[in-house]
Chain A
Amino acid sequence: MSQIENIPVKARSPFSEAFEMFRRNHAAVVGLVVLAIIVAVAIVGPMVYPGNPFDMVWAPFTPPGQEGYLLGTDYLGRDILSLLIHGAKVSLTVGISAALVTVTIGITVGALAGFYLGWVEEVLMRVTEFFQVLPTLLFSMVIVALFGASLPMITLAIGLVSWPAVARITRAEFMRIRELEYVIAARAGGVKNAKLIFSVILPNALPPIIVQAALMVGSAILFEAGLSFLGLTDPNVASWGQIIGSNREYILDASYAVTVPGVAIFVTVLAISLVGDGLNDALNPKLRQR
């Protein structure tokens, strides 16, 4: 009897359980592996394949595989492989930091609106709606055009147009969770509001926000590519969208110069979406134990 009792029950946190669920989703694991490779390329690539990507290295429009240039050269004779590797870092950085900006603003606004209700909610949700009805591309173009096409400004612009979705999800979760018994029990235990918001309710509201944030990285990369394509980008930094944008006039003569970075964007966003979808399955309690 005592022997049985002394075997400690292995405690598994909700997050280790979610990881287990994630591992069972093969598509998501593939997505994660692909994403890991891309991240590795972005970090290690510039060291392994050094050189300034903006240098002219050979005659323009060298097709892929010729003269030792694996992916060919673009209209200015720049090595596309080098551009691609250096661009990976930029695109991923923009994607991740834009997602962070989005989540930070979204969680703050959504949490306050969902927790305090009343006039706080009214004001915050009207502000959210205001941002939601603005045409996102136009609004971000205006920000970039006004404040300069630097990477931080582009990141901020993407964050500023994307946060309403996160704010709405957060608010909905807060409104649901704030009425649950463990929150009332915490109130009855004398917990302060700030602590209720951040340590009691927020951890329970995180799963859908994490999923949204993961997907947001992908859409931010697309968004950045879109802005670059329109020329609204830092001309001194190579990003995938910028490669497409600068080569778009030669799409008939040198389609590979546009295709290669396009495929890179496609694969990256797809991988992120698969990971996001896997997270959604793993963190959604209704889909567990399937």
Chain B
Amino acid sequence: MTDPLLKIENLRIELKLRSGPIPVIDDLSLELNAGETLSFVGESGCGKSMTALAIMGLLPEKVGSIGGGRILFQGNDMARMNPAELRAIRGNEISMIFQEPMTSLNPVYTVGEQIAEVLRRHKGMGQADAWKRATELMDAVRIPNAKARVGDYPHQMSGGQRQRVMIAIALACAPKILIADEPTTALDVTVQAQIFDLLRDLGRDTGTATILITHDMGAVAEMADRMVVMYAGRKAEEGPVEPVISHPRHPYTKGLISCVPHLLAELTEERPDLTEVPGIVPSLGSFGADACLFASRCYMADAQCRNARPPEVAFGPQTSACWKADIV
């Protein structure tokens, strides 16, 4: 097998708080192969977005920093690149779509200008070529009457259209990796489905590998090849989507799946009660602890879980960081 496109090794991201550095991402390793869709799942505050920002080298200045580990893009460590090398990759080889389409576009430029700008910057296109290509891209992301709308300002577009423009910008240079950070959270359900379709189709056309950050299990099941379940800055479970959803090896994954109504309803005739994962994500202060951080919310937790961090155990293609993974 060829080398993975993106390889994260033992990544540790620290936030500087008044009480000292806190590891918001602790010992995270994963691989992303060309053309693959990998999904990060987890509650808010589990470090999904932090991981994405770390890959882009956009951790909040003065607060967040990479405390250890490597982020290898095509064999080169991005954590050690200088700003110029990073800029050449950002938007060109790795690009990103943000959560909030209403505020992700610059209000003082037309959308066509914003798409064309990326092409001029990374591909060295001329003014006219870039503008023509921008129109084509608007068409590719299925904005009706693209020719007339390239001259629109962001405030003249709906949320779904703006997110399409964001996708056009992100895919303008046919990047190798697209990071989509909850791309549909701010959109209504019908538009969500359209955006996911678009991402999947365009990703397939350009051969782009996608990292999809979401807490929508339905989207994961539909979109992703593999998934990483994150909890409190650590990897809880990883594996191909199908086995992980049909047989989760971590009580947290199990909890997340049973929170989603239609997934279970389709699997069986009976309609089991919707359950919730009780409690909340532990506070940042306890993130470095040598224990299973999920223990406080886990129905199976015992003394071992509270006193030692579980190692990752492999079950075929699946891995789970749980002391009781074999009996979950």
Residues of A participating in the B interface, judged by any CB pair closer than 8 Å? 5-9, 11-14, 117-118, 180-182, 184-192, 200, 203-204
Contacts and interface: CB of A to CB of B under 8 A. Distances in A.
Contact of A188 (B95, B103, B152): B95
B106 A14 contact: no
- The 9 A-B pairs at the shortest CB distance, nearest first, are namely A189-B91, A190-B90, A8-B148, A190-B91, A190-B87, A188-B96, A203-B108, A181-B103, A181-B104
B149 interface: yes
B100 interface: yes
Contacts of A8: 145, 148
Given A117-B62, A185-B166, A13 B121 contact: no
Contacts of B148: 6-9
Contact of B104 (A14, A182, A192): A182
Interface string B75-100: 00000000000111111100110111
Contacts of B118: 189
Contacts of B96: 185, 188
11 contacts: A5-B144, A11-B151, A11-B152, A180-B103, A187-B90, A188-B91, A188-B96, A189-B121, A190-B88, A190-B89, A190-B121
Given A9-B149, A14-B153, A182-B105, A191 B58 contact: no
Interface string B101-121: 001111111100000001001
A7 B166 CA distance: 24
B71 interface: no
A191 B89 CA distance: 11
B122 interface: yes
B179 to A, nearest CB: 8
B275 interface: no
Q: Main SS of chain B's interface residues?
A: loop
B156 interface: yes
Contacts of A7: 148
Contacts, number: 82
B106 A182 contact: yes
Interface in B26-76: 56, 58, 61-62
Contacts of A11: 110, 151-153, 156
A267 B305 CA distance: 79
A10 to B, nearest CB: 9
Given A12-B153, A190-B88, A117 B106 contact: no
Contacts of B153: 11-14
Contacts of A118: 62
B256 interface: no
A11 B155 CA distance: 10
Contacts of A191: 87, 91, 121
A6 B98 CA distance: 31
Contacts of B86: 190
A9 B156 contact: yes
A190 B92 contact: yes
The interface centre, meaning the residue of A7, A14, A118, A188 with most chain B CB atoms within 10 A of its CB, is: A188
Contacts of A180: 103
Contacts of B100: 181
A5 B58 CA distance: 40
A187 to B, nearest CB: 6
Interface in B304-328: none
Interface in B268-321: none
B156 A184 contact: no
Contact of A204 (B104, B107, B145): B107
Contacts of B8: none
Nearest to B90: A190
A181 B163 CA distance: 13
Nearest to A8: B148
A184 B121 contact: no
Nearest to B155: A14
Contacts of A184: 58, 98
Given A12-B156, A191-B91, 17 more contacts: A5-B144, A5-B145, A8-B148, A11-B110, A117-B61, A117-B62, A180-B103, A181-B98, A182-B107, A184-B58, A185-B98, A189-B90, A189-B121, A190-B121, A190-B122, A191-B121, A203-B106
A18 to B, nearest CB: 11
A13 B155 CA distance: 10
Contacts of B90: 187-190
Contacts of B107: 14, 182, 204
B169 interface: yes
B115 to A, nearest CB: 11
